[in-house]
Amino acid sequence: MILTVTLNTALDITYRVPSLRPHRSHRVSEVTERPGGKGVNVARVLAALGHEVTVTGFAGGPTGREVHERLTGTPGVTDALVTVAGTTRRTVAVVDARSGDTTQLNEPGPQISPAEWSAFQDVYEDLLSSAAAVALCGSLPPGVPVGAYAGLVRAARAAQVPVLLDTAGEALRRGIAGRPDLIKPNADELAELTGAHEPLRAAQDARRRGARAVVASLGPDGLLASTPDGLWRAAPPAKVQGNPTGAGDSAVAGLLSGLVEQLPWPERLARAVALSTATVLAPAAGEFDRAAYEDLLGRVTVTGGVTAA
């Protein structure tokens, strides 16, 4: 079983409009609603790849109940979300069909009490006993300690469970001190962490700060990896237009599934880039275009392999 943690779960709402124009009323041509938050999106992609996945984190209020109900109908995904008094947030993505651009609106999430945080930690440590790997994903809701991820990373390492951390800002800065096996920031998040704006230099600096391996997302240009086995670049055969929401989460699913399957780094990176690109081509977060994925998988370019410092 693979465990994904989404402390700030959401109900993802995607609106498609013919053309998004500020200060105007719009007719929505299509609406999609599904459980969201980074770790939930990762879990959905992992399940589609054939892995058994358990999701945990927080859910509460009417939105949280809808998240529970929708997760129940997701094959391969087990719901272990901890119920809280506050209301789970909503995220709204507005997709401009004309340009392909997406505008994202994210609510902050519910206030988590010390008792709720303690209850989650008990559930998390229990789940680690049967996990092959764990992904810690996304932002921290109000009330969760800013150093929370460092403690969760250390608990996974103590249980000898490989751990991937995908967050940003101060949560990443504190979390990397727990020495995760892998972090997956984008280029801006990596620059904010290290102060270095050249991605390779920043990735190597992040490893010195505690991450065993770093895979940096370069957007449509693919991925850069600094690992104990070498330095790698992986790029799609061509840039694509579409909805990028969830593309990074699909990359995480590709990396995590490759870790569990003990694939060599080039194959993990090719899978991650193919999944990420195929997600841009899909209509909603947490989905990927399977035909596009299968076509892309053999056409991703992976270069490198020089021993990393």
- Give the DSSP H/E element, type plus range, for residue 151: helix 148-158
The answer to whether the CB of 88 falls within 8 A of the CB of 109 is: yes
Among candidates 58, 39, 46, which has minimal Cα distance to 137? 39
Catalytic, out of 79, 205, 249, 289: 249
C-alpha Rg value of the chain to the nearest Å: 18
Tell me the CB-side half-sphere exposure of residue 306, using CA atoms within 13 A: 6
Q: Which two tokens stand for residue 158?
A: 């103590």
Q: Which residue has the tokens 């799609």?
A: 236
The answer to whether the CB of 216 falls within 8 A of the CB of 223 is: yes
* Rounded CA separation 251/134 (Å): 15
Q: CA 183 → CA 24, 103, 162, 190, distances in Å? A: 41, 26, 11, 10
Q: Is 221 assigned a catalytic role?
A: no
* Rounded CA separation 303/309 (Å): 17
Collapsed DSSP state (helix, strand, coil) of residue 89: strand
* Rounded CA separation 217/125 (Å): 30
What CA dihedral angle connects 49, 51, 52 and 55, to 10 degrees?
-70
Q: Which two tokens stand for residue 184?
A: 């997956």
Neighbours of 162 (CB within 10 A): 19
How far, in whole angstroms, is CA 22 from its chain's centroid? 30
Maximal CA-CA distance, the chain: 55
The residues assigned a catalytic role are 249
